[in-house]
């Protein structure tokens, strides 16, 4: 599996095609795979996006690179969804794409429906984004059985400055 790496300098990203190919290989590794050791008590398991920070955040990250990374996260979640066993039919699989903090994006399998609903509010919740679609804006392709739900929230930093963040959930978002 690929590794996540923080970039501690502003050096130019090298070998971008190789890095994106490694991400596509990581996503394809989920084909036919579903963890068999998950229990309801686990609540969830997750996989963070396995890329270099600067590939998805900062000055060097381009729209095309972010789009490709988001698509591979969705593809990996789609593979998990297709490989889910009958014993795990109550679990929910979601790819969380965070904007602008894309390095915190992850794929989650929620084994408890209540825990899933704590993280992904219903469509009528006031935090849900109803006037746009990240999939439409970025041209993302959703595998069969997957839906999209965006959530917007504000965060205040130590200096009192407020940032608006979006978390786009692709998968089983009931």
- Confidence band, pLDDT 50/70/90 cuts, at residue 124: confident
Radius of gyration of the chain (CA): 16
Asked, for residue 35, whether it belongs to a domain, the answer is yes
Q: What percent of the chain has pLDDT over 70?
A: 94
- Confidence band, pLDDT 50/70/90 cuts, at residue 8: low
Asked, for residue 129, whether it belongs to a domain, the answer is yes
Asked, for residue 7, whether it belongs to a domain, the answer is no
Asked, for residue 3, whether it belongs to a domain, the answer is no
User: What's the structural domain count of the chain?
Assistant: 1
Asked, for residue 151, whether it belongs to a domain, the answer is yes
Mean pLDDT of the chain: 90
151 vs 121, residue with greater confidence: 151
Judge whether 7 and 52 are in contact, CB under 8 Å: yes
Residue 142 lies in domain: 16-171
What pLDDT, on the 0 to 100 scale, is given for residue 35?
93
Asked, for residue 81, whether it belongs to a domain, the answer is yes
Asked, for residue 103, whether it belongs to a domain, the answer is yes
Judge whether 99 and 137 are in contact, CB under 8 Å: no
Query: Strands across the sheet with 162-171, in order?
Result: 44-48, 106-110, 92-99, 162-171, 147-156, 128-129
Judge whether 52 and 72 are in contact, CB under 8 Å: no
pTM: 0.90
What pLDDT, on the 0 to 100 scale, is given for residue 106?
97
What pLDDT, on the 0 to 100 scale, is given for residue 167?
95
pLDDT in tens, 24-80: 999 999 999 999 888 888 889 999 999 988 899 988 899 999 999 999 999 999 999
Cβ partners under 8 Å of residue 18, min gap 6? none
Of 2-6, 11-15, 105-109, the least confident: 2-6
Asked, for residue 146, whether it belongs to a domain, the answer is yes
Cβ partners under 8 Å of residue 74, min gap 6? 95, 97, 140, 141, 142, 143, 146, 170
């Amino acid at each position: 599996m690929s590794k996540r790496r923080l970039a501690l300098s502003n050096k130019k990203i090298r070998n971008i095609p190789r890095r994106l190919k490694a991400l596509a290989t990581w996503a394809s590794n989920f084909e036919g795979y579903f963890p068999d050791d998950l229990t309801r008590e686990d609540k969830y398991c997750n996989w963070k996006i396995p890329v270099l920070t600067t590939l998805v955040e900062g000055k060097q990250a381009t729209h095309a690179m972010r789009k490709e990374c988001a698509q591979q996260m969705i593809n990996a979640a789609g593979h998990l969804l297709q490989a889910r066993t009958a014993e795990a039919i109550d679990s929910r699989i979601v790819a969380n794409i965070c904007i602008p903090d894309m390095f915190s994006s992850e794929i989650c399998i929620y084994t408890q429906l209540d825990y899933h609903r704590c993280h992904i509010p219903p469509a009528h919740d006031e935090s849900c984004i109803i006037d746009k679609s990240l999939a439409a804006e970025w041209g993302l392709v959703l595998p069969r059985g997957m839906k999209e739900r965006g959530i917007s929230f504000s965060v205040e930093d130590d200096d009192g400055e407020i940032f608006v963040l979006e978390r786009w959930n692709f998968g089983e978002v009931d």
